[in-house]
Amino acid sequence: MLEETYKIIRSAYHGGDFEGNHCRKFMRQAASVMDSIQTVLLSAPEEDRAVGCDDDEVHKCCAAFKGLFQCFDGLIHYCHQPFGALSDGDIVDLRKLVKQLQRLWGRMFDTVPPKAHAWRHLVKDLDRFRGLKHHQESKIEVSHQIGHRIDLIFRAVNDVDKKIDCSLRHQCTSEKASMKLVQGKVKEAQSRKRPAAALEDDTNNRHGQLLLLINLPEITDEFPTLMELAIESRKREVALNSEEDEDNIVNEDNIVNIVNNNNTNASK
């Protein structure tokens, strides 16, 4: 369903897990994705569900995970803002979002892994830099791609010193304002991505969605731990086995009575 409907794909080279880009796509569409998952879970027959997994439990858990993913999506949005772009008001909203996320996580899980704990330190970094877009690892990946592309351009040059000189000249020429203007026009003409104006409108819309998210009523439901669920499942299994044993004993007694009656009738 995730792949067919939402184009969220597990990467084969990533061990079958969701890589970062598809995790971000999942979180950005958290509301519709979790609604679809909820529909699938509710369509499952009662006998195929786990212990205590009634419709109310499905609604409660799906709503909680939807809120959790939306909080993470808001946090990612703040992180991907350019250096110096976040205002004091944005930092105030960010602190509210992180506190809301922390409370929801505490209700849903018993422990906080180190990666999830890092959001506390993330607030300090965002308050300092007011945006971490240029500190993400994708910039390093872009640098690798640029270096690889230059290596391919001058792969026919065998002399190392000459290759280095050509590479430096190429990069210097690429950084000129006139060349960037030409490259920008060509890129815009060939690009399939949305124009800058549409991206700006989308960013403003996202800010509005985050404000609505912060003002939503918090989820206050209690969620059982995995240990509690395992204990309840084992209790139910033991109870079912006990009922089956009692039924077998009753059936054996009935068989004995029938045999005794038959023998009595035969002797008469």
Q: Per-residue pLDDT tens, the chain, 268 aa: give them.
A: 888 888 888 876 656 788 778 888 899 899 999 999 999 999 998 888 877 788 998 999 999 999 999 999 989 889 888 889 899 999 999 999 999 999 999 888 888 888 777 888 889 999 999 988 877 777 677 777 888 888 888 888 888 899 889 888 888 888 888 888 888 888 777 766 555 555 455 555 666 677 677 777 888 888 887 777 778 777 877 887 777 666 555 455 555 465 456 556 555 5
Q: H helices then E strands: how many in the chain?
A: 12, 0
User: Tokens in use for 30?
Assistant: 């958290």
Length of the chain: 268
- Look at residue 39 in the predicted model and tell me its pLDDT: 93
- Look at residue 259 in the predicted model and tell me its pLDDT: 47
Q: Are 110 and 225 in contact (CB under 8 A)?
A: yes
User: Tokens in use for 148?
Assistant: 């690889």
Q: Say what the pTM is.
A: 0.68
Compute the Cα dihedral for 72, 74, 77, 79 and give only its sign: negative
Q: What whole-number distance in Å separates Cα of residue 184 and Cα of residue 213?
A: 36
- Look at residue 34 in the predicted model and tell me its pLDDT: 93
Q: What whole-number distance in Å separates Cα of residue 178 and Cα of residue 175?
A: 9
Which of these, 6, 10, 9, lies nearest to 33 by C-alpha position?
6
Q: Are 223 and 65 in contact (CB under 8 A)?
A: no
- Look at residue 261 in the predicted model and tell me its pLDDT: 61
Q: List C-alpha distances in Å: 252 to 45, 239, 248, 257, 259.
A: 33, 20, 6, 9, 11
Provide the 3-class DSSP secondary structure of residue 211.
Answer: helix
Q: Which amino acid is at 28?
A: R
- Look at residue 193 in the predicted model and tell me its pLDDT: 57
Name the packing angle between helices 55-79 and 20-28 (round to 10°): 120
